[in-house]
């Protein structure tokens, strides 16, 4: 009797184990199928408008450089508000100088001198002029300025002019820069020093800008240790937190780090919950590839209001990248290899950050160069090859920096990336290619020019 019970128990356990293995196998097959169902890069970018932009705030004018304008700026007056001289010389009526030359100069009566910062108390008639400095307000009746090099004072009341001028020459007309009621800056524009100066010209002490998006960073992996620790066998220091933080700052956002999380489901779930609550976007590095200890997909799926949008992008490096929507916020699963993570950030993640940060016109800075060797590529994916720019005999060359995706030296040596299209098998030596430059300000040092996709 006991033997029969034991036999039945053994058979039942065997059946349960078989069912469990079957379920596990089915689940793994489902995960693998989902992983290898890669999404085209352009399709990934179609998700950008799905996510909302951050709120705006008012900041002092002095702090606006590098920020994104949060509202249209409409001029409340003409700029300039008066006709201004652009040269030192004499304010005149152009008609009074017609035909003037060194052999036959025009003689004009000097009405006086225009004081800077004041409105002239006299007008200019035919055959008259007034001394004026650059930036001075032209008197009523005058319409141009004769350069001081083309005139000579004969005495305190007479000036000799030996070159004619046309109406409007050497002056800035009323409203020539901007007209009253004109949109001078549009919402979504990134403010440079010149835009800051324009806002100053219109007396904008406070400016509405988008808040800087807060981007959470989570590093994962049992093998990852803090930078202050000496790695043991099989361990590496945390590079991704620091490279991603720097790239986030370059993108105009604020990094918020959540430390290193071991391969533990519960801890990772809790950390992701905190990160999504405190950030406008979250990046998790190291949990996007297929592996028995990578819990990213499971964790993201377990978070409230979550949807996995992409698990795998047809790019190299960076194929196993994850894109999810958690509580209507962007959540990225980036490759653990530092080079892969950096390339994915530059080419895929950054446009999403710029969008939620309010940037209306996203730019890709490129510089043309000749490829100095053949580059091979596989069809069906977009390849991003690291290159170094070298100038030889006046020609700028792009030299591929070869190396595995775990080698940060390839990024340190590289000046930019060359994109190889999804239907291209490679690029031949000597082909002119646009190099996507990671630091636009460095472009001028190569050949003195900068090109954009404007």
Query: DSSP labels for 25-43?
Result: HHHHHHHHHHHH--B-HHH
Label residue 353 by pLDDT band (50, 70, 90): very high
Token digits of residue 424: 């291209």
Residues 334 and 316: their CA atoms lie apart, in Å, by 13
Main-chain phi, psi angles of 416, to 5 degrees:
180, -170
Pairing state between β 281-285 and 329-334:
parallel
pLDDT at 67: 97
Token digits of residue 38: 């890669």
Range 376-396 average pLDDT:
91
Q: Is the pLDDT of residue 19 over 70?
A: no
Higher pLDDT, 1 or 104: 104
Enumerate residues 6+ apart whose C-beta is below 8 A from 23: none
Higher pLDDT, 262 or 57: 57
Q: If you average pLDDT over every residue of the chain, what do you get?
A: 87
Distance, CA of 60 to chain centre: 22
Residues 187 and 209: their CA atoms lie apart, in Å, by 9
The structure's pTM equals 0.82
For 105-182, list the strands marked E by DSSP. 106-113, 128-132, 144-147, 151-153, 158-161, 171-172
Instruction: Please enumerate, as own/partner, the contacts of 394-400 that have beta carbons within 8 Å and a separation of 24 or more.
Output: 395/370, 396/367, 396/368, 396/369, 396/370, 396/446, 396/447, 397/369, 397/370, 397/371, 397/372, 398/369, 398/370, 398/371, 398/372, 398/433, 398/435, 399/372, 399/373, 400/371, 400/372, 400/373, 400/375
Nearest to residue 333, comparing CAs of 406, 266, 283, 261?
283
């Amino acid at each position: 009797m006991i033997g029969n019970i034991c036999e039945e128990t053994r058979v039942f356990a065997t059946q349960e184990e078989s069912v469990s293995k079957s379920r596990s196998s089915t689940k793994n097959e489902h995960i693998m199928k989902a992983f290898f169902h890669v999404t085209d890069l352009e399709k990934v970018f179609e998700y950008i408008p799905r996510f909302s932009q951050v709120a705006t705030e008012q900041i002092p004018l002095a702090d606006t450089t590098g920020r994104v304008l949060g509202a249209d700026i409409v001029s409340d007056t003409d700029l300039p508000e008066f006709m201004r001289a652009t040269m030192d010389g004499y304010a005149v009526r152009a008609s009074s100088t017609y035909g003037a030359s060194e052999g036959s100069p025009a003689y004009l009566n000097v009405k006086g001198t225009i004081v800077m910062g004041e409105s002239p108390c006299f007008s200019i008639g035919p055959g008259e002029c007034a001394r004026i400095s650059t930036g001075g307000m032209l008197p009523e009746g005058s319409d141009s300025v004769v350069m001081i090099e083309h005139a000579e004072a004969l005495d305190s009341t007479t000036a000799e002019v030996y070159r004619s001028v046309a109406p409007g020459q050497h002056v800035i007309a009323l409203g020539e820069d901007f007209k009253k009621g004109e949109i001078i800056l549009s919402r979504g524009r990134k403010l440079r020093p010149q835009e800051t100066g324009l806002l100053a010209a219109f007396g904008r002490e406070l400016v509405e800008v988008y808040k800087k998006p807060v981007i959470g960073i989570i590093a994962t992996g049992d093998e990852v240790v803090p930078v202050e620790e000496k790695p043991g066998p099989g361990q590496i220091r945390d590079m991704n937190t620091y490279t991603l933080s720097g790239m986030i700052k370059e993108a105009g956002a604020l990094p918020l780090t959540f430390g290193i999380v071991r391969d533990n489901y519960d801890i990772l779930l809790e950390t992701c919950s905190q990160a999504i609550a405190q950030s406008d976007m979250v990046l998790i590095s190291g949990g996007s590839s297929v592996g028995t200890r990578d819990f990213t997909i499971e964790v993201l799926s377990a978070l409230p209001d979550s949807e996995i949008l992409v698990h795998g992008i047809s790019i190299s490096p960076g194929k196993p990248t994850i894109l999810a929507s958690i509580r209507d916020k962007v959540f990225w699963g980036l490759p653990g290899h530092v080079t892969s993570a950096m390339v994915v950030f530059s080419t895929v993640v950054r446009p999403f950050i710029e969008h939620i940060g309010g940037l209306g016109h996203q730019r890709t800075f490129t510089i043309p160069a000749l490829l100095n060797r053949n580059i091979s590529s596989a069809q069906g994916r977009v390849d991003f090859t690291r290159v170094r720019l070298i100038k030889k005999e006046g020609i700028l060359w792009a030299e591929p920096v070869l190396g595995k995706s775990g080698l940060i030296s390839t990024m340190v040596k590289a000046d930019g990336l060359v994109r190889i299209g999804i239907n291209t098998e490679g690029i031949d030596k000597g082909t002119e290619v646009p190099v996507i430059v990671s630091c636009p300000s460095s472009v001028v040092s190569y050949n003195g020019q900068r090109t954009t996709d404007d």
